[in-house]
Amino acid sequence: MYAGSTETRSPPITVPMLRQFKQEGRRISALTAYDASFARLADDADVDVILVGDSLGMVVHGKRSTLAVTVDDIVYHGRAVARGSRRALRIADMPYASYPDPRTAFTHAARLIAEGECAMVKLEGAGPVIESIRYLVEREVPVCAHLGLTPQSVLRLGGYKVQGRGEAAASALRDAARAAQDAGAELLVLECVPSAVAAAVRSDLEIPVIGIGAGAQCDGQILVCYDVIGISAGRRPRFVKNFLSGRDAVIDAFRQYVAEVRAGEFPAAEHEYAQ
- Domains of the chain in start order, with CATH, are 15-271 (3.20.20.60)
Catalytic entry in 124, 191, 260, 272: 191
pLDDT score for 5: 44
pLDDT score for 1: 42
pLDDT score for 9: 60
pLDDT under 70: residue ranges of the chain: 1-9
pLDDT score for 10: 78
Instruction: List, as one string, the DSSP characters of the chain.
Output: ---S----SSPPP-HHHHHHHHHHTPPEEEEE--SHHHHHHHHHTT-SEEEE-TTHHHHTT--SSSTT--HHHHHHHHHHHHHH-SSSEEEEEPPTTS-SSHHHHHHHHHHHHHTS--SEEEEE-STTHHHHHHHHHHTT--EEEEEES-GGGHHHHTSS-----SHHHHHHHHHHHHHHHHTT-SEEEEES--HHHHHHHHHH-SS-EEEESS-TTSSEEEEEHHHHTT---SPPPTT---TTTT-S-HHHHHHHHHHHHHHT-SS-GGG----
pLDDT score for 234: 74
pLDDT score for 4: 47
191 part of the active site: yes
